[in-house]
Amino acid sequence: MVGLNSAVVLIVEDEPVIRFNVLDALEDVGHVALEAANADEALVVLKGRQDVDILFTDVNMAGSMDGIQLAKRVRAMRPNIGIIITSGLVQLDPMALPANAAFLPKPYMHDALISAIDSLMT
Protein backbone atom coordinates (compact mmCIF):
# COMPACT_ATOMS: atom_id res chain seq x y z
CA MET A 1 0.00 0.00 0.00
CA VAL A 2 1.30 3.45 -0.94
CA GLY A 3 1.62 5.88 1.97
CA LEU A 4 0.56 9.53 1.96
CA ASN A 5 3.96 10.80 0.84
CA SER A 6 4.70 7.84 -1.39
CA ALA A 7 4.89 7.98 -5.15
CA VAL A 8 4.67 5.39 -7.88
CA VAL A 9 7.90 5.92 -9.81
CA LEU A 10 8.74 4.40 -13.19
CA ILE A 11 12.53 4.05 -13.51
CA VAL A 12 13.73 3.94 -17.12
CA GLU A 13 17.41 3.02 -17.17
CA ASP A 14 19.21 0.67 -19.56
CA GLU A 15 22.02 -0.15 -17.11
CA PRO A 16 20.63 -2.95 -14.88
CA VAL A 17 22.92 -2.28 -11.90
CA ILE A 18 21.90 1.38 -11.77
CA ARG A 19 18.21 0.54 -12.31
CA PHE A 20 18.14 -2.03 -9.50
CA ASN A 21 20.10 0.25 -7.18
CA VAL A 22 17.60 3.09 -7.69
CA LEU A 23 14.68 0.70 -7.33
CA ASP A 24 15.99 -0.48 -3.95
CA ALA A 25 16.66 3.07 -2.75
CA LEU A 26 13.15 4.21 -3.63
CA GLU A 27 11.46 1.19 -2.09
CA ASP A 28 13.53 1.67 1.08
CA VAL A 29 11.87 5.06 1.63
CA GLY A 30 8.37 3.81 0.85
CA HIS A 31 7.93 4.60 -2.84
CA VAL A 32 6.53 2.05 -5.27
CA ALA A 33 9.19 1.50 -7.93
CA LEU A 34 8.49 0.12 -11.39
CA GLU A 35 11.20 -0.50 -13.94
CA ALA A 36 11.85 -0.45 -17.65
CA ALA A 37 15.10 -0.93 -19.57
CA ASN A 38 14.13 1.46 -22.39
CA ALA A 39 11.43 3.82 -23.65
CA ASP A 40 9.48 1.08 -25.42
CA GLU A 41 9.18 -0.93 -22.20
CA ALA A 42 8.27 2.25 -20.31
CA LEU A 43 5.38 3.00 -22.67
CA VAL A 44 4.03 -0.53 -22.17
CA VAL A 45 4.15 -0.05 -18.38
CA LEU A 46 2.43 3.34 -18.66
CA LYS A 47 -0.35 1.90 -20.84
CA GLY A 48 -0.99 -0.76 -18.21
CA ARG A 49 -0.78 1.48 -15.15
CA GLN A 50 -2.66 4.70 -14.63
CA ASP A 51 -1.18 5.26 -11.15
CA VAL A 52 2.36 6.29 -12.15
CA ASP A 53 3.20 9.63 -10.50
CA ILE A 54 6.80 10.12 -11.62
CA LEU A 55 8.82 9.14 -14.68
CA PHE A 56 12.55 8.94 -13.90
CA THR A 57 14.46 8.44 -17.14
CA ASP A 58 18.03 8.41 -18.37
CA VAL A 59 18.66 10.36 -21.58
CA ASN A 60 20.92 7.90 -23.41
CA MET A 61 19.57 4.40 -23.89
CA ALA A 62 19.00 1.87 -26.63
CA GLY A 63 15.65 1.54 -28.32
CA SER A 64 13.35 3.55 -30.54
CA MET A 65 13.76 6.81 -28.61
CA ASP A 66 15.97 8.46 -26.01
CA GLY A 67 14.86 9.75 -22.62
CA ILE A 68 14.10 13.25 -23.86
CA GLN A 69 11.82 11.91 -26.60
CA LEU A 70 10.21 9.61 -24.02
CA ALA A 71 9.63 12.54 -21.66
CA LYS A 72 7.92 14.51 -24.46
CA ARG A 73 5.72 11.56 -25.35
CA VAL A 74 4.77 10.97 -21.71
CA ARG A 75 4.06 14.68 -21.19
CA ALA A 76 1.67 14.59 -24.19
CA MET A 77 -0.03 11.41 -22.90
CA ARG A 78 -0.19 12.40 -19.24
CA PRO A 79 0.24 16.12 -18.59
CA ASN A 80 0.20 15.72 -14.80
CA ILE A 81 2.98 13.15 -14.43
CA GLY A 82 6.19 14.40 -12.82
CA ILE A 83 9.29 13.88 -14.94
CA ILE A 84 12.89 13.61 -13.78
CA ILE A 85 15.53 13.34 -16.50
CA THR A 86 19.07 12.24 -15.69
CA SER A 87 22.29 12.01 -17.68
CA GLY A 88 26.00 11.86 -17.23
CA LEU A 89 26.65 12.81 -20.86
CA VAL A 90 24.39 15.77 -21.56
CA GLN A 91 23.59 18.79 -19.41
CA LEU A 92 20.04 20.09 -19.61
CA ASP A 93 19.14 23.58 -18.45
CA PRO A 94 16.50 23.17 -15.72
CA MET A 95 14.92 26.43 -16.89
CA ALA A 96 14.30 24.88 -20.33
CA LEU A 97 12.35 21.96 -18.90
CA PRO A 98 8.56 21.94 -18.95
CA ALA A 99 6.53 22.48 -15.81
CA ASN A 100 6.59 19.60 -13.33
CA ALA A 101 9.96 18.37 -14.62
CA ALA A 102 13.50 18.32 -13.22
CA PHE A 103 17.01 17.47 -14.40
CA LEU A 104 19.32 15.45 -12.16
CA PRO A 105 22.91 15.15 -13.46
CA LYS A 106 24.81 11.88 -12.98
CA PRO A 107 26.35 10.91 -10.74
CA TYR A 108 23.62 11.75 -8.26
CA MET A 109 23.03 10.82 -4.66
CA HIS A 110 19.86 8.92 -3.84
CA ASP A 111 18.90 11.72 -1.44
CA ALA A 112 18.87 14.17 -4.36
CA LEU A 113 16.57 11.87 -6.34
CA ILE A 114 14.25 11.42 -3.37
CA SER A 115 14.16 15.19 -2.84
CA ALA A 116 13.32 15.72 -6.51
CA ILE A 117 10.48 13.20 -6.27
CA ASP A 118 9.17 14.87 -3.10
CA SER A 119 9.23 18.32 -4.73
CA LEU A 120 7.33 17.08 -7.80
CA MET A 121 4.71 15.43 -5.60
CA THR A 122 3.85 18.62 -3.68
Q: What is the pLDDT of residue 58?
A: 95
Cα distance between residue 122 and residue 118, in whole Å: 7
Q: Total domain count for the chain?
A: 1
Please list the alpha-helical segments (H only) found in 10-109: 16-28, 39-48, 67-77
**The pLDDT of residue 1 is above 70:** no
Report pLDDT digits (tens) over 7-34.
Answer: 999 999 999 999 999 999 999 999 999 9
In a domain, 26, yes or no: yes
Domain extent, residue 44, equals 8-120
CATH number at residue 70: 3.40.50.2300
Q: How far apart are CA 45 and CA 87, in angstroms?
A: 22
Q: What is the mean pLDDT of residues 89-97?
A: 76
Q: Is the pLDDT of residue 91 over 60?
A: yes
Q: What is the largest CA-CA distance in the chain?
A: 36
Q: What is the mean pLDDT of the chain?
A: 91
Residue 2: the pLDDT is 44
Residues 6 or more apart in contact with residue 33 via CB below 8 angstroms: 9, 11, 22, 23, 26, 27
